[in-house]
């Protein structure tokens, strides 16, 4: 568990007074786009990212983010595997599935496995900002 204060690893800073986000997506372009979006939201902090299933599971377990953005199609399995593993560890992180496979059967599987949100990368990318603006701790 991360204590109070700031813990810095490379470009990521963990602050407990912020919504700490982890990105799990095999596309470097998507990860950079999400990182740039997150950087512009007050109260939201990117603490890590991974491009495959194994690294995602290990880093999420280690870093304990408050929110995870998760792709379905990744090397080493699927984002659904990550979702099930994270939920199986009794992790209370908010899970946002962001995928190019927005088919009803995937939505159903993800929501039943414990996803909080399920969005299409093609036309719902902006909803990430809306969610994080709502969830971020607001400074008075």
Work out the average pLDDT over 103-118.
97
Residue pLDDT, tens place only, 46-98: 999 999 999 999 999 999 999 999 999 999 999 999 999 999 886 789 999 99
Residue 2 has pLDDT above 80, yes or no: no
**Domains in the chain: boundaries:** 6-135
Global pTM value: 0.85
Q: Phi-psi region for residue 5, left (φ > 0), alpha (ψ -120 to 50) or beta?
A: left
- Give 70: exposed, middle or buried? Use CB within 10 Å, 0-12, 13-18, 19+: buried
The residue written with tokens 């950079």 in the block is: 32
Structure tokens given for 114:
């414990």
Axis-axis angle for helices 79-88, 53-63 (nearest 10): 30
Residues 6+ apart with CB under 8 A from 34: 23, 25, 69, 98, 128
Query: Does CATH number 3.40.50.300 belong to domain 6-135?
Result: no
Tens-place pLDDT, residues 11-57? 344 445 789 999 999 999 999 999 999 999 999 999 999 999 999 99
Does 4 have pLDDT greater than 60?
A: no
């Amino acid at each position: 568990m991360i204590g109070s204060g700031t813990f810095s690893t490379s470009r990521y800073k963990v602050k407990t007074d912020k919504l700490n986000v982890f990105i799990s997506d095999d596309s470097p372009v998507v990860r950079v786009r999400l990182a740039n979006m997150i950087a512009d939201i007050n109260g939201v902090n990117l603490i890590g990212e991974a491009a495959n299933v194994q690294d995602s599971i290990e880093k999420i377990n280690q870093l304990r983010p408050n929110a995870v953005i998760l792709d379905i199609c990744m090397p080493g399995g699927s984002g659904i595997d990550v979702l099930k593993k994270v939920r199986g560890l009794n992790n209370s992180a908010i899970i946002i599935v962001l995928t190019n496979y927005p088919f009803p059967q995937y939505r159903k599987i993800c929501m039943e496995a414990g996803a909080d949100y399920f969005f299409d990368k093609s036309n719902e990318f902006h909803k990430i900002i809306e969610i994080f603006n709502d969830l971020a701790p607001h400074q008075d």
